[in-house]
Amino acid sequence: MNGQPNTVDQPNPFEKVVAFVEERVGLKTIQAKMLNEPVPGGSRWAYAFGSCLLFIFIIQVVTGILLMFYYVPSTDHAYASTQYIIHEVDYGWFILSYHFWGSSVMVVMVFAHMSQVFLWGAYKSPRELVWLVGLALFGIVMAFGFTGYLLPWDQRAYWATVVGVEIMDKTPIIGDFMARFLKGGPTPGQMTISRFFVIHVMILPAALMGLAGLHIFLFRKAGPAGPFRGTPEELKAKTDYFFPRQVWKDIVVMASVFLITASLAFIEPVVLLEEATPDPGDYHPEPEWYFLFLFQLLRLKIFGGEFGQLLGSIVLPGAFMALLAALPFIDRNPERNIFKRPFALVGWIMVMAFIFIFTYSSVINREFLD
């Protein structure tokens, strides 16, 4: 009309970009698939473990990258650069402390998530592969803690690594090769810290991201297991969508974990011991807290001698992990209610009690020695 072009329905530049991406990627389809996933039995706080673990990993990556701007992975500068981060870099002490405590929080969350899956019987058919990939992710998380612990290059880091490598050396066939490869020499030195650094910042993150993607794919393929209580009809009647209720619960849990980790970083910031040296002096070597139960186990007299050390450090933990891997194929009973699976419940209680008692005993023993 009146010779004027009609501009009412003309998209603006931003809308054109969105339309371009949507046509080629299908973001709306992906968004709908992610947010409209059915949640059997309705949204639950217990479902937040997976999202929370992904959140913790992302924060660990961010804080790790920030630390890498100042950290120097060499025996001549690792200790000094870590001290520089703590004392000279703005908020460096907080970033380092958050990264340190974040690794412990991640271990706790992995233990909690695996316990939930076991107690709910969510490892059973058709979720066997989800469980197996989850076990591999558990191993990677523990490897993160082990390799990252050496990098500050103080006495605590040095001797915890020595203890860990000595335990690894007892592995039949491949143990000697793995120990020599990680140390790169007769004693931990430059080759050790270089290899631990590469494993910690390149190999393990790549492996975790790949396995985490596979874990999520398999999980969505099999579908959420839902709580073990209630009939399939009852769970279907209570089914909710991932957005908005479950998203809200995930956000609350992630925020809580962030605040807890930040509080730990403020209350107990990282303080280094003396620079690493082959002479332990008055320091009593021990691994990080999540390996203390195994360390305390090896102190028992029944695990004395070379065969006893092999049995306690390799055979028993290896057999336990093999049992966990075989669990979905051994336990073919479709019953998932933990109160109707007494052997599973008693087994879980015994394992948790063993870890707690031996960890506590190691802490008490350390305080006695100090």
Single-letter amino acid, residue 183:
K
Number of domains the chain contains:
1
Instruction: Indicate the SS3 state at residue 240.
Output: strand
Residue 267 included in any domain:
yes
Classify residue 146: in a domain, yes or no: yes
Report the mean per-residue pLDDT for the chain.
87
Token reading at 43? 């949204």
Q: Please, which residues bridge with residue 192 across strands?
A: none
Cis peptide before 13 (omega within 30 of 0): no
Q: Tell me the average pLDDT across 272-279.
A: 89
Measure the CA–CA gap between 353 and 34, rounded to whole angstroms.
38
307 is a domain residue: no
What count of residues does the chain have?
Answer: 370
Amino acid residing at 5: P
Domain that holds residue 192: 39-291
Q: Is residue 315 part of a domain?
A: no
Within a domain: 173? yes
Q: What is the mean pLDDT of residues 121-141?
A: 94
Residue 96 and residue 85 in contact, taking contact as beta carbons nearer than 8 Å:
yes
Per-residue pLDDT reduced to its tens digit, 208-256: 999 999 998 998 888 777 666 665 665 666 677 777 788 899 999 999 9
pLDDT in tens, 323-332: 999 999 999 8
pLDDT at 6: 56
Structure tokens at 49: 């473990």
Assign residue 267 the CATH number of its domain: 1.20.810.10
Is 80 among the domain residues?
yes
pLDDT in tens, 169-179: 888 888 888 88
pTM: 0.88
Predicted confidence band at 47 (pLDDT cuts at 50, 70, 90)? confident
Beta bridge partners of 38: 241
Q: Which residues contact 35 (CB under 8 A, 6 or more apart)?
A: 241, 242, 243, 247
Q: How far apart (Å, rounded) are the C-alpha atoms in residues 3 and 10?
A: 17
In a domain, 30, yes or no: no
Question: What pLDDT, on a 0 to 100 scale, did the predictor assign at position 100?
Answer: 96
Taking the C-alpha atoms of residue 264 and residue 99, their distance in angstroms, rounded to an integer, is: 11
Asked if pLDDT for residue 189 goes beyond 60, the answer is yes
| The pairing of beta strand 240-241 with beta strand 38-39 | antiparallel
Q: What are phi and psi of 154, to 5 degrees?
A: -105, 180
Measure the CA–CA gap between 362 and 350, rounded to whole angstroms: 18
Whether 360 is covered by a domain: the verdict is no
Angle at 260 between CA 257 and CA 264, to 5 degrees: 140
- Round to whole Å and give the CA distance between 263 and 267: 6
313 with 298: CB under 8 angstroms? yes
Which pairs count as long-range contacts for 193-196, CB under 8 Å and 24+ apart, including other chains? Answer: 193/73, 193/74, 193/75, 193/78, 193/150, 193/151, 193/153, 194/73, 194/74, 196/147, 196/148, 196/150, 196/151, 196/161
